[in-house]
Amino acid sequence: MPPVIGVFDSGFGGLTVLHELLRVLPEADYLYFGDTAHLPYGAKSAHTVAKYALSSTRFLEERGAEMLVIACNTATALALDEIRAGSSIPVTGVIEPGAERVAEISRAKRAAVIATEATVASHAYQKALTARGITAIEKACPLFVPLVEEGWVEHPVTEQVAHIYLDEIFQKEAHGADVLMLACTHYPLLRTVLRRVSPPEIQIVDSAESTANQVAALVQPCKQRCTSPQSGRLSCFATDSVEKFRHLGERFLGRPLEHVELIDIET
């Protein structure tokens, strides 16, 4: 039997991780939980994020998830240990897989990390990269998420904002870096623009892609046992407006979202 994988995020961004999971593990069943009533986690404290994340992952376990992917950089940065302590199934965050990929490909051993304010303030990527011998220069890019949600992924304004943020980082502290780490699940949608405004020697590492690859490696034995050629099922849950979830989510997932269930959980 293919595994049931629970994917959790504060909103829609984690659907870029699900998008990559569906690419590398199309036969698994997926339960996606977007805690949209409380988004964005990016500006909230560790205590608040841990409280919300745990309520959501417990729900996914109750619904049959056999492993959890915390497809949210802020929740991974601020609450991964608490989620692991409160779960009886394997939990994969988005930080370690991304950091491992950076360590594999960086020759300069120097990387720029772009993320939300809360992820940067947690220094979780810096810690994970330092532990692998990489010097990490972190920068918060708070306008990227709203620009993606406005749908301006290839817009001149977005390119101008990306220029301002990236020039600031590559011309100053991150001078000499050879990797740009996308440490927010919204950022894969900006990959084309970010490629265009980054210096040519910079390689882009996307934590959604790295995480999906690591989960695929984890379930490899079960994948070999699986004889079913069909695609897995996807059920989505959101704590706020199902219409908005469907509308925005389709853009992130790159396919139609048919079943989205509204959930009211106690926190």
Strand partners, 68: 6, 91
The residues carrying an active-site annotation are: 72, 184
Which residue number, 146 or 176, has a Cβ lying nearer to its own copies?
146
Binding segment for its own copies (CB under 8 A), chosen from 68-76, 91-99, 222-230, 234-242, is 234-242
For the segment 144-203, give every residue that binds its own copies (CB under 8 A). Answer: 145-147, 149-150, 156-157, 160-161, 164
CB of 263 to its own copies, least distance (A): 12
* Count of all residues that appear for the chain in the document: 267
Q: Nearest-CA neighbor of 149 among 228, 58, 36?
A: 36
Considering the complex, state which of residue 53 and residue 67 has its C-beta at the smaller distance from its own copies: 53
- In whole angstroms, the minimum distance from the beta carbon of 145 to its own copies comes to 8
Nearest to 118 by CA among 137, 138, 98: 138
38 touches its own copies by CB under 8 A: yes
Q: How distant, in Å, are the alpha carbons of 2, 14, 74, 98, 114 from that of 185?
A: 25, 6, 10, 11, 11
Residue 246 is a binding residue for its own copies (CB under 8 A) = no
Which residue from 138, 133, 73 is spatially nearest to 106, judged by alpha carbons? 133
Q: Closest approach of Cβ 73 to its own copies, in Å? A: 17
Q: Which is nearer to its own copies, 45 or 171 (CB)?
A: 45
Name the nearest CA neighbour of 179 among 105, 68, 88, 264.
Answer: 105
Q: Is 69 left (phi over 0), alpha (psi -120 to 50) or beta?
A: beta
Interface ranges with its own copies (CB under 8 A) = 36-40, 43-45, 48, 142-143, 145-147, 149-150, 156-157, 160-161, 164, 239-241, 244, 267
